């Protein structure tokens, strides 16, 4: 927690990052719930999802670079550990879904069907874009910062990301791969840069704190207006405005954290299970929408409660698995 004295050093702690991840996971879930049941009051959550996905990317880039700086052997078996940490929980939750959830909602889910779909190839076919993109970022981070000095790696990381965003935009227009692949990707690079210049950035936002918040609010409003209200759906919108909105949102969050405490234990615990929330909520939405006969609002509320409770419960064995992977 930052003190009111602007001379005090501020660091984005693990607890703060965990709380932000938890809030982001819940926001993304609410957006998907609003879409599933066509709930108008949740529409802003759906459109703001790009901001919170960007915050996830930002925290990932920040955490990777900070870990690299604090551990001289960080790149030893880096890709093996990181990809296992990303894919192993996802696969186990996929197995949980196939064994426990699929038979509830699908009449064709025979024992043979379920056993067949436990094969890794079906898991990889079902992977959501976010996991795939994070995996790509891990590989890119390793190649840039393992084999090049930081300044050169920064240039390479930025250039490759920018080129990838443009290429993905072109592919999206031709094959409809989805703007989610590139509309907030620059936040990962921003997180790396922020980790390198954290104290300089903190001093900048601590001075005239209220004014900085107003500036962020105005810029954020202008960026959001382009894709939230105008719905241009062109390069200016999908590449520029959405990435800019996500970037300024991350900056605003860092600015708010100078005065606002979020590292409360319930939020930290929620954040520790954020990956499980992210992986589970779509399956729970499907179950609640097909098997529970309540109003849309109550189905949505039930989805939130079940997802969070199940995520917290499943996080216990998955946390033990994480500890084993980190020892590799």
pLDDT in tens, 140-176: 999 999 999 999 999 999 999 999 998 988 888 888 8
Sign of CA dihedral 18, 24, 28, 30: positive
pLDDT at 7: 47
- Between CA 41 and CA 49, with CA 44 as vertex, the angle to 5 degrees is 135
CA atoms lying within 13 Å on the CB side of residue 82:
23
The strand ranges marked E within the chain are none
pLDDT at 2: 43
Q: Report how far residue 278's alpha carbon sits from residue 313's, in angstroms, rounded to the nearest whole number.
A: 14
User: Does the residue 8 lie in any domain?
Assistant: no
Q: Report how far residue 196's alpha carbon sits from residue 12's, in angstroms, rounded to the nearest whole number.
A: 12
Contact 65, 145 (CB under 8 A): yes
- Between CA 309 and CA 316, with CA 315 as vertex, the angle to 5 degrees is 105
pLDDT in tens, 121-145: 888 888 889 999 999 999 999 999 9
User: Does the residue 4 lie in any domain?
Assistant: no
User: Does the residue 69 lie in any domain?
Assistant: yes
Q: Report how far residue 239's alpha carbon sits from residue 161's, in angstroms, rounded to the nearest whole number.
A: 12
* Ranges in the chain, pLDDT < 70: 1-8, 109, 228-233, 235
pLDDT at 47: 85
H or E element, residue 198? helix 198-206
User: Does the residue 40 lie in any domain?
Assistant: yes
User: Does the residue 3 lie in any domain?
Assistant: no
pLDDT at 231: 65
pLDDT at 105: 75
User: Does the residue 9 lie in any domain?
Assistant: no
Structural domain containing residue 166: 14-326
- Between CA 307 and CA 312, with CA 311 as vertex, the angle to 5 degrees is 120
User: Does the residue 2 lie in any domain?
Assistant: no
Long-range contacts of 280-287 (CB under 8 A, 24+ apart): 280/93, 280/97, 280/307, 280/310, 280/311, 280/314, 281/28, 281/29, 281/32, 281/33, 281/307, 282/32, 283/97, 283/101, 284/310, 285/32, 285/33, 285/36, 286/101, 286/105, 287/101, 287/104, 287/105
Instruction: Give the total number of structural domains in the chain.
Output: 1
pLDDT at 230: 66
Query: Token pair of 172, please?
Result: 């999206």
User: Does the residue 309 lie in any domain?
Assistant: yes
């Amino acid at each position: 927690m930052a003190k009111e004295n602007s001379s005090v050093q501020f660091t984005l702690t693990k607890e703060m990052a965990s709380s932000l991840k938890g809030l982001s996971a819940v926001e993304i879930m609410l957006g998907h719930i609003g879409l599933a049941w066509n709930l108008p009051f949740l529409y802003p959550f759906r459109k703001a999802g790009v901001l919170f996905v960007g915050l996830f990317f930002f925290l990932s880039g920040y955490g990777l670079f900070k870990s690299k700086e604090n551990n001289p052997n960080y790149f030893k078996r880096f890709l093996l550990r990181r990809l296992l940490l990303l894919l192993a929980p996802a696969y186990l939750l996929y197995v949980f879904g196939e064994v426990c959830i699929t038979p509830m909602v699908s009449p064709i889910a025979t024992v043979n069907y379920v056993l067949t779909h436990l094969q890794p190839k079906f898991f990889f076919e079902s992977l959501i874009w976010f996991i795939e993109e994070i995996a790509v970022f891990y590989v890119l981070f390793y190649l840039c910062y393992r084999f090049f000095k930081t300044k050169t790696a920064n240039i390479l990381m930025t250039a490759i990301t920018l080129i990838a965003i443009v290429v993905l935009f072109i592919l999206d227009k031709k094959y409809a791969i989805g703007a989610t692949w590139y509309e907030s990707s620059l936040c990962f690079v921003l997180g790396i840069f922020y980790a390198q210049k954290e104290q300089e950035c903190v001093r900048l936002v601590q001075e005239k704190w209220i004014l900085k918040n107003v500036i962020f609010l105005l810029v954020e409003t202008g960026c959001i207006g382009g894709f939230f209200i105008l719905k241009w759906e062109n390069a200016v919108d999908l590449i520029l405005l959405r990435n800019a909105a996500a970037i300024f949102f991350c900056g605003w969050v860092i600015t708010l954290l100078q005065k606002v405490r979020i590292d409360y234990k319930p939020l930290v615990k929620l954040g520790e299970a954020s990956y499980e929330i992210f992986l589970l909520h779509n399956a729970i939405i499907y179950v609640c929408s097909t098997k529970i006969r309540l109003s849309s609002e109550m189905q949505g509320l039930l989805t939130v409660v079940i997802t969070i409770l199940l995520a917290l419960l499943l996080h216990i064995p998955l946390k033990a698995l994480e500890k084993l992977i980190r020892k590799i």
